[in-house]
Amino acid sequence: SLAWETNPLYGWCNKNKKANGDYYNLYDDGLRIYTTIDSRMQKYAEDAVREHVGGTLQPMFFQEKAKRDYAPFSRDLRLGQVDTILTRAMQQTDRYRALKANGLSMEEIKAEFKKPEEMRVFSWNGPVDTIMSPWDSIRYHKSFLRSAFMAMDPHSGHVKAYVGGIDYNDFQYDMVNGGRRQIGSTMKPFLYSLAMIDGFTPCDEMLHVQQQLRDENGNLWVPRNAGAKRVGETVTIKWGLQNSSNWVTAYLMGQLSPYTFVRLLHSFGLKNYIDPVISVCLGTPDVSVGEMVTGYTTFANKGIRVDPVYVTRIEDQFGNTIASFTPTMSEVLTEEASYKMLYMLRSVVDGGTASRIRYRYNITAQMGGKTGTTQNNSDGWYMGFTPSLVAGCWVGGEDRSIHFDRLNEGQGASMALPIYGLFMQKVYADKSLGYLESEVFEVPEKYSNPCGKPVSEQENNTPEESGGIDDIFK
């Protein structure tokens, strides 16, 4: 209902009438719809997903789960839980609904599903004809990792590339705007933004030790920080974001209000209800890729958030323009806070958890970014931006219980960041697109030193995630 009221493109055919008083028909009225997608960038995005997920991640995932009776699920699941998940998936199929309509019992339906038959199944090398039971085919298709990717211009809002899933023929579900998953450490820049608004600077210091906070009910919350560096030392706020420290994030949360933070999150474009609890700072809410990309335009656009534009105009069958669309913009951060955030997010790429953008993909462009990893490695995220392009990527299983067992393969820097790296390599290699690695962020002289004082410590490089939200509950 909110999209109906605020988004002119949403339901356009059912909002607008022709001269004869009838509503427009998308299929019969000869409408010409001009989208913002760049076909070249769309191909590069699809190729990057295929190259990394299909060529690297999926073989690693198959190898990890090989000959394990719980595959493709987590080793933490019991066999009874696996059967429950598969049964739920079975009940969502047309075959199940047809058998149930014919009066078959659950036991009889399962027996039918476990009968082998000829079928065609998905593979990254093309469709495969085989003999398999429908029950096994459900399990087989769940074993494929899924991904979503979106890239947009942070100034015009034009969406340049949109990959809703790994293959539309077999997995017809849009994970860019249809699906929502926990966002892990990609949440942290939003909290740091609130801190910068509240008067913090990137060079403010704290003791890097485990934090103990109490919620509104008096319950103690003590987040862990897997693989923590510089324990017991004094570190800066910048170092905390650069190295994705849960302790620095929890420290900031203790200085701020979760209610104020949730209001800011909605200003960043996160739409669903978000519970204002202290653990929200480590990325517990479910958010879509599209919302995250929209939110991160704020950091590339001097504190101004730009909503995505998918269609520029609509013409009728005679070539008359009957609708045009412009971006919706809103100020989220003050100019000073936005430059503080730009300074810190660039440091994440230049020596932090996203540093493999530099040493593995050899991209020299000025850019900011943030990795994210959720509980038990269920979701891997990467958000990246340059002065003229913002992109976000998610990788995970269809179910949260489908994931790598080890952080090394399951973290956002390993699952999602490479897709962004490959995409940007292809974009920069295509000179006809006009994106240059020499492009720089425009920072006024008065904001060139966001700390207001010299940095008093040597920042350490830590190329891996220091902890995800899996540490919240332990």
Where do the structural domains in the chain lie, given as residue ranges?
73-142, 146-310+329-471
pLDDT, residue 225, reads 87
- The b-or-e profile of 335-365 (16+ CB within 10 A means b, else e) is ebbbbbbbbbbbbbbbbbbbbbbbeebebeb
pLDDT, residue 457, reads 43
Q: pLDDT confidence of 51, banded at 50, 70, 90?
A: very high
Distance of CA 116 to the CA centre of its chain: 38
DSSP state of 56: I
pLDDT, residue 419, reads 98
Average pLDDT of the segment spanning 103-120: 96
Distance, in Å, from the CA atom of 269 to the CA atom of 176, rounded to the nearest integer, reads 14
pLDDT, residue 456, reads 42
Q: Hey, what's the torsion of the CAs at 107, 113, 116, 121, to 10 degrees?
A: -160
Please state, in angstroms and as integers, the Cα–Cα distance from residue 106 to each residue in 82, 137, 409, following that order: 17, 18, 38
Q: What DSSP element (H or E) covers 47?
A: helix 39-49
Per-residue pLDDT of 153-192, as tens digits, reads 999 999 999 999 999 999 999 999 999 999 999 999 999 9
Q: Is the predicted pLDDT of residue 300 greater than 80, yes or no?
A: yes
Higher pLDDT, 241 or 456: 241
DSSP state of 66: T
Amino acid in position 472? I
pLDDT, residue 452, reads 63
Q: pLDDT confidence of 243, banded at 50, 70, 90?
A: very high
pTM (2 d.p.): 0.93
Higher pLDDT, 444 or 463: 444
Q: pLDDT confidence of 228, banded at 50, 70, 90?
A: confident
Distance, in Å, from the CA atom of 310 to the CA atom of 37, rounded to the nearest integer, reads 7
Q: pLDDT confidence of 453, banded at 50, 70, 90?
A: low
What is the DSSP secondary-structure string of 169-209? TT----TTTT--EE-GGGGHHHHHHHHHHTT--TT-EEE-S
Which of the listed CATH numbers 3.30.230.10, 3.40.190.10, 3.40.710.10, 3.40.50.300 matches domain 146-310+329-471? Answer: 3.40.710.10
Q: Which of 466, 149, 471 is nearest to 292 (CA)?
A: 149
pLDDT, residue 2, reads 82
